[in-house]
Chains A and B, each alone.
Chain A
Amino acid sequence: DVVMTQSPLSLPVTLGQPASISCRSSQSLVYSDGNTYLNWFQQRPGQSPRRLIYKVSNRDSGVPDRFSGSGSGTDFTLKISRVEAEDVGVYYCMQGTHWPPTFGGGTKVEIK
């Protein structure tokens, strides 16, 4: 299985400051169709996961533009330009290129 490694595990951030989460895969996530199926999910406390970003850098409808995704191959990043209180939660990267789909271990974002 493809191993997804996220860092850091915990990310205390000051309101209004930027935040960055790294995700590395054990294999390239480029699929035979040329797409890279790397997604980012947010899970707020007590809620279901919500997809924020798909195929590396595409923001889902309704996702604030302070969230952005980047990367290629095996190295990916989720950035929050200015953290707001509602951004508290756990963030997961997930690859859908190889079976089975696998998730990173999660990064807990909290306010300092």
Chain B
Amino acid sequence: GENVEQHPSTLSVQEGDSAVIKCTYSDSASNYFPWYKQELGKGPQLIIDIRSNVGEKKDQRIAVTLNKTAKHFSLHITETQPEDSAVYFCAVGDSNYQLIWGAGTKLIIKP
């Protein structure tokens, strides 16, 4: 079955700098790659997703890149702000039509 690894587990960046979180997956048949943000006391919320026919997608300060050959995808957040502090999860839509999740990255934005 699909296996998803997410790194780093914790990321601390200075406000205004960029943050990058990476995920790798194992099943080459997987074709959907969402990123979720979980703020304290809330459930995960979809912030951006990408499908296997696209290599990059942007939405304001966030972007996701996908490398299907290498089986990895990344979340990029530019010009980080205090409200970006949260736990970020990557997930993969596998060939069994389930979402397989990474273990999460705690992003800390230092003032």
Do A and B actually bind?
Answer: no
